[in-house]
Amino acid sequence: MTKEELKLLKEIADLEKTPQGAYNIRKNGESAGRASTENIVIESKTDKPGIDIRIKDGTKNESVHIPVILSETGYTEVVYNDFFIGDNCDVLIVAGCGIHNGGCGTVQHDGVHTFYIGKNSRVRYVEKHYGEGEGSGEKIMNPVTVAYVGENSYMQLDTTQIKGVDSTKRETYIHVGKNAETVVNEKLMTHGNQNAVSEMEIILEDEGANGQVVSRSVARENSVQTFYPKMTGKNKCFGHVQCDSIIMDNAKISSIPAIAAEHTEAMLVHEAAIGKIAGEQMLKLMTLGLSEEEAEDRILQGFLN
């Protein structure tokens, strides 16, 4: 791989060498490496681009890395990855896409990830998006995540996009089963003329289902962000949606959280806040010796983390 491609892998999956456990690295539409384990099997789809990941019952303390890197200007793709996770599992799945565009053509990756999670399992899914390159072509990513969380299971979805993506539309749909729980942590920073849209619905299907969404974002310069998080309760359940954003320069942010109850014992809460960096925070850090830019960066890092 080139120096730029290795940097992309580091940014989106924290990989500096071949990972341990199961992995599939996709580069410009082709496989750049793959390995299965005794408990985790990765196979190519035969009807469309993408892979099937099958995780056996009882698999614990194992991980799967499936990063995508694009470095060919003008290249676009749509990829479908399906995860079949058995009962009584505890696994980490690390995905994400990195684009290096040094040319004038658009580079675009659209990924559809679907999770089928069995009973009594824990799944943490980490997805990072990152773009770079001095070319004039756009870097576009449109991820779709669909999950079915089985009885007594837990799914945590951590999504991060903090640099270099010109346009993104993220769609997330999660169905939560009996006594199951889903937690979504979304972090986003846009700058320049970037545009980001996030559409999300957590559907609390069965009795005892729980859902939590925490979205934090920073919009700088002339960028535009739009959030549509929705929590739907169809049974006795609890759901909470929280959206916090910092707006700067000439940016625009729309946060439109929604809750919908279809059962008398559904308890749902939503909160949304948009504001600027507090002046007293800046002043306090600057009195400790930081420049205005350093103080601003420190506040933004703390907010997103």
Q: What is the pTM of this model?
A: 0.94
Token readout for 296 is 């601003």
Token readout for 91 is 């696994």
pLDDT at res. 294: 86
pLDDT at res. 290: 86
* CB-CB neighbours of 252 under 10 Å: 12
Token readout for 181 is 């729980």
Q: Do residues 237 and 208 touch, judged by C-beta distance below 8 A? A: yes
Residue 18 φ/ψ, nearest 5 degrees: -60, 125
Give the residue from 228, 23, 78 showing the smallest Cα distance to 9. 23
pLDDT at res. 262: 97
Q: Do residues 207 and 200 touch, judged by C-beta distance below 8 A? A: no
Half-sphere exposure of 113 (CA within 13 A, CB side): 25
pLDDT at res. 282: 79
d(CA 205, CA 216): 26
Token readout for 298 is 């420190």
The angle formed by the CA atoms of residues 26, 217 and 115, to the nearest 5 degrees, is 40
| Helices within the chain (DSSP H only) | 3-13, 279-287, 292-304
Q: How far apart are the first and last CA of the chain?
A: 31
Token readout for 294 is 């350093």
Q: Do residues 198 and 185 touch, judged by C-beta distance below 8 A? A: no
Give me the average pLDDT of each 10-residue run along the chain (305 residues).
82 81 93 95 96 98 95 95 98 95 95 98 97 93 97 97 94 98 97 97 98 96 97 98 95 96 97 88 82 86 86
164-175 pLDDT tens trace: 999 999 999 999
d(CA 258, CA 96): 27
pLDDT at res. 267: 98
Which residues does residue 63 pair with via DSSP β-bridges, in sequence order? Answer: 92
pLDDT at res. 206: 97
Helix or strand (DSSP H, E) at 137: none
Give, in order, the Cα–Cα distances in Å from 302 to each of 76, 290, 299: 35, 15, 5
Give the burial string for 11-34 (b: 16+ CB within 10 Å, else e).
Answer: bbbebeeebebbbbbbbeeeeeee
pLDDT at res. 156: 98
20: CB partners within 8 A, 6+ apart: 63
173-226 pLDDT tens trace: 999 999 999 999 999 999 999 999 999 999 999 999 999 999 999 999 999 999
d(CA 171, CA 102): 28
pLDDT at res. 291: 87
d(CA 256, CA 11): 30
pLDDT at res. 283: 82
pLDDT at res. 272: 92
